[in-house]
């Protein structure tokens, strides 16, 4: 089975099959492959505050793929879940809040996807594109993202909704030279080559959006079985349920929802971006290697000094300028009539001009600003030192994460014959959106997960 051309290879079997009855491997958060602990956060994404406080953990949970989107397509994926964040005039992929790679950069994901679909005209790819941006920019940004992506893919390759639907056959699209279906869940893009995501696709409850709540992802990070079993249970229910009104839609099923611990050491090192063996500490504290890794914090405004963390001067507050207002004393025509410790100002800003005596607080000097301004006096603060406060051992070590990876891998290997591969569900299976679609979990070979899904089409 050639994963980069499996549709073309199976064309004699699937030519007359509706698209929503072809079992396709899909990429959950296809653009998350470049997320790392240092890649920053999307301010308009969800869980921004939580991810900003725990960037290493957020990156590991958010990074669901290990290679660019075009390589995922070559690994068998025919559904790309692409999420874009427009921030400070730039476009990035993102997941939750952590940012990935610039999407429209030269030779970025967008260009690579465009080249791939042009080079594989018999491989039909479904793309679910979603956008976030500041509220006032969102409508314009959404349309811009779809227009730019369509321009790179080529609108001639985008199947128009007026001619095709999820029940159109694979052969009809390919013979028309249209091998990309573009989904939009926002309702903001009015183009014939954009399909309504809600009107043409459904996850049938297999994706745990509301329950379990997002906080459970962090809880289950330490105990993988709960989240893993929750996902498989939802899949089983979704597969067994009569699709009803959703029968003519794409069924996008969440097969595997889990942190990138599934990737093992390689993926963790990529996510953690050369951080020390112990994970750095929560926002507002810093890491120190004492006793295998500890977290410490400095008082507000103070920064870490170069001295040992246990010294009384482990934190220091640099000198900086502060200002305050001057105090009016009285009118005086001549400067020499002002009392000692005060200064004279000619007050040329009033009519008629009249001299006045003013004073600055002790240790403050006269500024160059108008005497009536709030910063008429200034001084430099002294450098200050303070001890650091211990916050205990650093949170999560790489050893801990690798133990979680082993647990996930064992669960996955033991459940490959789980509900999404059970006989009798063939007529209901369509797109299986999975994490790490090209990965190699313990006991498996590259592409085994994709092959397990594709194999439905040859029964």
* 3-state SS assignment for residue 54: coil
Q: Which residue has the higher pLDDT, 291 or 443?
A: 291
As a whole number, mean pLDDT of residues 129-150 equals 97
The pLDDT value given to residue 425? 55
As a whole number, mean pLDDT of residues 251-269 equals 58
d(CA 102, CA 33): 12
Average pLDDT, the chain: 83
As a whole number, mean pLDDT of residues 319-329 equals 93
The tens digit of pLDDT for each residue in 69-126 reads 999 999 999 999 999 999 999 999 999 899 999 999 999 999 999 999 999 999 999 9
d(CA 195, CA 191): 8
The pLDDT value given to residue 315? 93
Residue 418's pLDDT band, with cuts at 50, 70 and 90, is: very low
As a whole number, mean pLDDT of residues 402-410 equals 55
As a whole number, mean pLDDT of residues 195-220 equals 71
Identify which of 22, 202, 262 has the alpha carbon closest to the alpha carbon of residue 125: 22
Q: Report whether pLDDT(413) > 60.
A: no
Q: What's the token pair of residue 174? A: 């390919």
Q: Report whether pLDDT(380) > 50.
A: yes
Q: Is the pTM of this model over 0.95?
A: no
Q: Which residue has the higher pLDDT, 74 or 278?
A: 74
The number of helices, as runs of H, and strands, as runs of E, in the chain is: 14, 22
The pLDDT value given to residue 216? 53
DSSP-derived letter for residue 382 is P
The tens digit of pLDDT for each residue in 164-202 reads 999 999 999 999 999 999 999 999 999 999 999 999 999
Identify which of 52, 49, 44, 127 has the alpha carbon closest to the alpha carbon of residue 92: 44
Tell me, rounded to whole angstroms, the distance of Cα 337 from its chain centroid.
67
The DSSP string of 153-213 is: H-GGGBPPTTT--TTSBHHHHHHTT--EEEEESSS----TT-EEHHHHEE-TT-S-SSSS-
d(CA 409, CA 440): 9
The pLDDT value given to residue 148? 97
The pLDDT value given to residue 279? 47
The pLDDT value given to residue 277? 41
The pLDDT value given to residue 282? 62
As a whole number, mean pLDDT of residues 383-405 equals 67
Residue 259's pLDDT band, with cuts at 50, 70 and 90, is: very low
Euclidean distance between the first and the last CA atom of the chain, given in angstroms as a whole number: 14
Do you find a cis peptide bond into 352, omega within 30 degrees of 0?
Answer: yes
Non-local (6+) Cβ contacts of 2 within 8 A are 9
- Please state whether 135 falls in left (phi above 0), alpha (psi between -120 and 50) or beta: alpha
The tens digit of pLDDT for each residue in 426-437 reads 566 788 888 888
The pLDDT value given to residue 429? 75
Whether 183 contacts 230, CB under 8 Å: no
């Amino acid at each position: 089975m050639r994963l980069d051309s499996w549709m073309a290879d199976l064309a004699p079997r699937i030519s007359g099959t509706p698209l929503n009855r072809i079992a396709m491997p899909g990429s959950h958060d296809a653009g998350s492959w470049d997320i790392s602990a240092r890649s920053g956060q999307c301010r308009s994404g969800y869980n921004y505050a939580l991810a900003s406080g725990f960037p290493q953990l957020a990156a590991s949970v958010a990074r669901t793929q290990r290679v660019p989107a075009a390589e995922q397509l070559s690994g068998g994926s025919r559904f790309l879940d692409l999420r874009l964040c427009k921030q400070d005039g730039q476009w990035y992929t993102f997941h939750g809040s952590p940012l990935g790679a610039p999407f429209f950069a030269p030779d970025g994901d967008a260009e690579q996807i465009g080249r791939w679909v042009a080079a594989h005209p018999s491989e039909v790819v479904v793309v679910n594109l979603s956008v976030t941006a500041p509220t006032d920019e969102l409508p314009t940004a959404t349309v811009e993202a779809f227009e730019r992506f369509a321009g790179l893919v080529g609108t001639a390759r985008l199947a128009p909704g007026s001619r095709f639907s999820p029940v159109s056959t694979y052969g009809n699209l390919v013979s028309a030279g249209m091998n990309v279906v573009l989904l939009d869940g926002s309702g903001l893009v009015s183009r014939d080559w954009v399909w309504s995501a809600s009107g043409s696709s459904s996850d049938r409850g297999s994706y745990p959006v509301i329950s379990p709540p997002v906080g459970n992802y962090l809880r289950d990070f330490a105990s993988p079985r709960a989240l893993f079993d929750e996902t498989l249970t939802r899949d089983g229910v979704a597969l067994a349920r009569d699709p009803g009104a959703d029968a003519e839609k794409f069924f996008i099923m969440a097969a595997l929802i889990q942190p990138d611990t599934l990737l093992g050491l390689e993926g963790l090192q990529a996510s953690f971006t050369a951080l020390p063996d112990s994970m750095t500490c929560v926002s507002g504290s810093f890491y120190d290697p004492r006793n295998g890794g500890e977290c410490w914090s400095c008082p507000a405004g103070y920064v870490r000094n170069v001295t040992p963390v246990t010294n009384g001067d482990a934190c220091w507050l640099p000198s900086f300028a502060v200002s305050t207002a001057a105090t009016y004393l009285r009118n005086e025509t001549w400067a020499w009539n002002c009392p000692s410790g005060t200064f004279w100002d000619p007050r040329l800003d009033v009519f008629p001009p009249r001299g006045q005596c003013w004073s600055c607080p002790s240790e403050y000097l006269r500024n160059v600003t108008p005497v009536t301004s709030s910063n008429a006096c200034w001084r430099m603060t002294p450098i200050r030192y303070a001890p650091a406060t211990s916050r205990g051992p650093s949170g999560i070590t790489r050893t801990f994460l690798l133990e979680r990876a082993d647990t996930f891998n064992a669960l996955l290997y033991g459940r490959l014959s789980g509900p999404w591969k059970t006989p009798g569900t063939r007529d209901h299976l369509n797109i299986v959106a999975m994490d790490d679609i090209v990965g190699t979990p313990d006991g498996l070979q590259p592409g085994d997960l994709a092959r397990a899904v594709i194999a439905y089409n040859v029964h």
